[in-house]
A and B are shown apart, each in its own frame.
Chain A
Amino acid sequence: MELIGTRTTPSPLGPDRLRLVGEVAYDDRPGEREDYWFDVAAEHASSLSKTGNPWLACLLPLAATLGETLRIPMPVDRLLLRNARELPCIWKSWYPELYLVEVIAEAEPERRAGGSRAGSFFTGGVDSFFTALRSTEAGAIPTDDLITVGGFDIPLDNLAAFERRRARLGAVAAELGKTLVDVVTNLRQTRLEKTGWGRLFHGGALASVGLALEGRYRRLLIASTHTYGRLVPLGSHPFTDPLFSTTRTEVLHDGAAYDRFGKLEYLSRHAVALRNLHVCFRAGSDHNCGSCEKCLRTMTALELLGCLSSAESFPVKRLDVGRVARAYLRHPGLEAYYRPIRAGAVARGRRDVVRAVDRAVRRSRAIRRLMAIPDWLMQRRGLWRAARPIRRVLLAGEFV
């Protein structure tokens, strides 16, 4: 695959915005071209990348998935170019079906002056709020910008929700003394999406957004998902995220020393987080539904921490443990999130919560076993139609 060229164009999203567009051609689809773009406020025009760095960061996962050599006809930072040899090796060790691919690009000959600011990616969720708030502590690595991205967890077809979230996160940023930088991108509407967002490319996607503004940043912080004690192959990982660093812009994976309950414990001491926490992307919207598994899990933790009633961003102020007991953990990895919650419930003498968590885990395991039936049907020609109603029956009454 090849980055044919890049251009900066006016943005259809508004007169005060600009769009950095890269045109990509694929070896396996001759003649087909696809535009990848990053859309930013016009005030950041001077920070927009003129190198191949953001394109390498976002296209490498796709190249490794397709097994195509990646050609970038622009200078690429020499450290990133070296890292681009390491990343496919890590990915292949996790997912043997991927390819070790070559990157053909010219190394940047000179070290140029880079940006001086630090930005941390910010959705308003537990992980990114934790990273953003910790950076305000004395002695911590300070961050100047909170970077929020439209087109990732809130899809491009719901930009109204992104606008509302941007307004709310703008207020959060102002309260924390930081600048909100919003970037909209279509990465998840390109072929990249086929590589698996959570599985392979969300770290690279975030890094590419930051590197699209590389003239601005010396440091980019990606909030961790998992803890050091429970690392599993994932698109954002402490092994891989730092490998999107260039000599001028360092990418840090932050917060893996804390589990999600520990992060919520920290957030529970900050009113700004309780007012604005947004964890739910089930509806691709800007509000917490209060009834999905992720909302219920977060609300359970907040209840144990004694601050659910003051968590304004959740629609429910009292926890319904009956609902917690019917939360459906769609994969076994989610059980790890419930272990610290259960331990917290035991420590606080909340036997009702302990029972509800145990029940949710047990029920989910049983349902997951039965889910093998519709999953099998889905693979069979002519039978896949039967899978949906079976799934519906199995999940009836569960909070997914």
Chain B
Amino acid sequence: MELQNVRVDRPAPGRARLTGEVRYDDPAFPAESYWFDVPERYADDLSATGNPWLVCLAPLAATCGEPLRIGLPVDRLLARNVVELLRIWSVWYPSLESVPLELEKSDPPPEVETGRTGAFFSGGVDSFFTVLRHRKGDAGGLSADDLILVRGFDFPLEHAEAFVRHRERMSRAAEELGMELVDVSTNLRETRLREASWADLWHGSALGSVGLALERRYSLLILASTSSYGELEPYGSHPMTDVLFSTQSTRMLHDGACATRLDKMEYLAGSSLALEYLHVCFREISDLNCGRCRKCSLTMLGLALCGAGDRWRTFPAGGPDLERVARILFTTKGQKRGVRRLRALAVRRGRRDIVRAIDRALRRSALVGAAVGALDGAGRVRDLSTLSRRIRRSLVSRMVR
């Protein structure tokens, strides 16, 4: 695949857009435009190099097995790093290939030293934790100047109104933090990149490419961790891979893996700002937390156990609904590990009602998991496939996901 015709134009009043055309070697796929769209006042900060393009296209090249040609100069360190990245991915996911990169390597002029620090910010637990702990000086004082909010990742592009409302809230949060909110829109998730797994492979590189699209502005970009060091598994954002999106002028940092999600909630429970603006739920693509899905229920549970149950502003009042908690479906090892931590905290707090609800949810999840496994097996038999699908759907629909 090849990047061609990179340009900056003005798609709408007040916005500037960095666009690149990508042509695929496989003729079955027509060329596509990939773009990053920023407020016009940041137009001068937009990248003129191949760096953001290399970072966003590398996972697709590895997935499709196509060599990647970038016609713009690419930072020498980044070029080296992406070779390492492709190797790591091919170790994690043997179906991926370490594809050839055809790059024109370059070094930045020595005077380039922007000095600004940007932190990716969705308003969720991970990014709030990272931003707050640095602002308070709890972790070396890497306080962010900008909070980078992305439309097109958790918020699909077609949900413009919900995003505008979300942006308004996050702007207020940024203002209270004394930081600038930089909102970037991108169509990466509407391109052929969808063929690659967002969660497992490329959400770190997607954020990296957004940051590098504004590389003239940043010397440091902070990406909030998902998992803690003790529970790392191959994933799209990982402390070993995220740092490899660094160039010689812009360093990428994976931050917060020293804390579990529960540690982070415990930290946020002490922040009225976080409780005012926390947004974890993308189930209904709304700027509000639904309060009913697995993520909302577990976050409410965690915050309630940390003593913030009566102070949150973005979840329904009255605490978590334990009947719903008892019906949460836990499917992955990570989910089960997380809820066992909540259970241990509930034991320490003497909340036997919560312990019982979690135990019921874990038991039900185990039963549903076993049943789904058996039904999937039955589904491979021709005459049983429709029936097994129906039963599967019915079983799973009773659970909270």
State whether B76 touches A81 (Cβ < 8 A): no
Least CB distance from B95 to A in Å reads 15
Which chain B residue shows the least CB distance to A89? B258
Given B80, B88, B134, B228, which contacts A89 in the complex, CB threshold below 8 Å?
B228
Contact with A along B73-90 (1 / 0, CB 8 A): 000110110011001100
State whether A79 touches B140 (Cβ < 8 A): yes
State whether A141 touches B141 (Cβ < 8 A): no
The majority secondary structure among interface residues of chain B is mixed
Contact with A along B227-254 (1 / 0, CB 8 A): 0111000000001100100100001010
State whether A107 touches B140 (Cβ < 8 A): yes
Contact with B along A254-276 (1 / 0, CB 8 A): 00110000000000000000000
Least CB distance from A99 to B in Å reads 13
A372 at the interface (CB under 8 A from B): no
B105 at the interface (CB under 8 A from A): yes
**A107 CB contacts on chain B under 8 angstroms:** 137, 140-141
B142 at the interface (CB under 8 A from A): yes
State whether B80 touches A90 (Cβ < 8 A): no
For chain B, which range describes its interface: under 10, 10 to 19, 20 to 34, or 35 or more residues? Answer: 20 to 34
Least CB distance from B242 to A in Å reads 10
Given A78, A90, A228, A245, which contacts B140 in the complex, CB threshold below 8 Å?
A78
Least CB distance from B131 to A in Å reads 13
State whether A140 touches B140 (Cβ < 8 A): no
State whether A85 touches B91 (Cβ < 8 A): no
**In the assembly, what is the distance between CA of A257 and CA of B80, in Å?**
11
**In the assembly, what is the distance between CA of A140 and CA of B220, in Å?**
23
Least CB distance from B260 to A in Å reads 10
State whether B258 touches A86 (Cβ < 8 A): yes
State whether B142 touches A82 (Cβ < 8 A): yes
Given A82, A140, A227, A238, which contacts B80 in the complex, CB threshold below 8 Å?
A140
**A257 CB contacts on chain B under 8 angstroms:** 83-84, 87-88
State whether B258 touches A85 (Cβ < 8 A): yes
**A141 CB contacts on chain B under 8 angstroms:** 76-77, 80
- Chain A stretch 88-143: residues in CB contact (< 8 A) with chain B: 88-90, 92-93, 107, 111, 116, 139-141
State whether B91 touches A139 (Cβ < 8 A): no
Q: With A85-B140, A111-B115 known to touch, is A90 a contact of B229 (CB < 8 Å)?
A: yes
The majority secondary structure among interface residues of chain A is helix
**B228 CB contacts on chain A under 8 angstroms:** 89, 93
Q: With A82-B139, A83-B140 known to touch, is A89 a contact of B229 (CB < 8 Å)?
A: yes
State whether A242 touches B243 (Cβ < 8 A): yes
A239 at the interface (CB under 8 A from B): yes
A229 at the interface (CB under 8 A from B): yes
A84 at the interface (CB under 8 A from B): yes
A358 at the interface (CB under 8 A from B): no
Q: With A139-B76, A228-B87, A228-B88 known to touch, is A81 a contact of B229 (CB < 8 Å)?
A: no
Q: With A86-B257, A111-B115, A257-B84 known to touch, is A81 a contact of B140 (CB < 8 Å)?
A: yes
Which chain A residue shows the least CB distance to B115? A111
State whether A139 touches B243 (Cβ < 8 A): no
**In the assembly, what is the distance between CA of A250 and CA of B141, in Å?**
18
- Chain B stretch 49-102: residues in CB contact (< 8 A) with chain A: 76-77, 79-80, 83-84, 87-88, 91
- Chain A stretch 231-248: residues in CB contact (< 8 A) with chain B: 238-239, 242, 245, 247
State whether A139 touches B105 (Cβ < 8 A): yes
- Chain B stretch 137-191: residues in CB contact (< 8 A) with chain A: 137, 139-142
**B255 CB contacts on chain A under 8 angstroms:** 82
Contact with A along B117-140 (1 / 0, CB 8 A): 000000000000000001001011
State whether B251 touches A238 (Cβ < 8 A): no
**A80 CB contacts on chain B under 8 angstroms:** 140
State whether A228 touches B139 (Cβ < 8 A): no
Given A79, A90, A93, A238, which contacts B142 in the complex, CB threshold below 8 Å?
A79
State whether B83 touches A85 (Cβ < 8 A): no
Given B115, B142, B230, B251, which contacts A250 in the complex, CB threshold below 8 Å?
B251
**In the assembly, what is the distance between CA of A150 and CA of B246, in Å?**
32
23 pairs, A vs B, C-beta closer than 8 Å:
A78-B142, A79-B253, A81-B140, A82-B139, A83-B140, A85-B258, A88-B258, A89-B257, A89-B258, A90-B229, A93-B228, A93-B229, A107-B137, A139-B76, A140-B80, A227-B91, A228-B87, A228-B91, A239-B229, A245-B251, A256-B87, A257-B83, A257-B87
- Beyond the given A79-B220, A85-B258, please list 14 additional residue pairs across the A-B interface where CB-CB is below 8 A: A78-B140, A86-B229, A86-B257, A88-B258, A89-B257, A92-B230, A93-B229, A116-B110, A139-B76, A139-B105, A228-B84, A228-B87, A229-B91, A257-B88
**Interface pairs A-B: 10 shortest CB-CB:** A82-B140, A81-B140, A89-B258, A257-B87, A93-B230, A229-B91, A93-B229, A107-B141, A228-B91, A78-B141
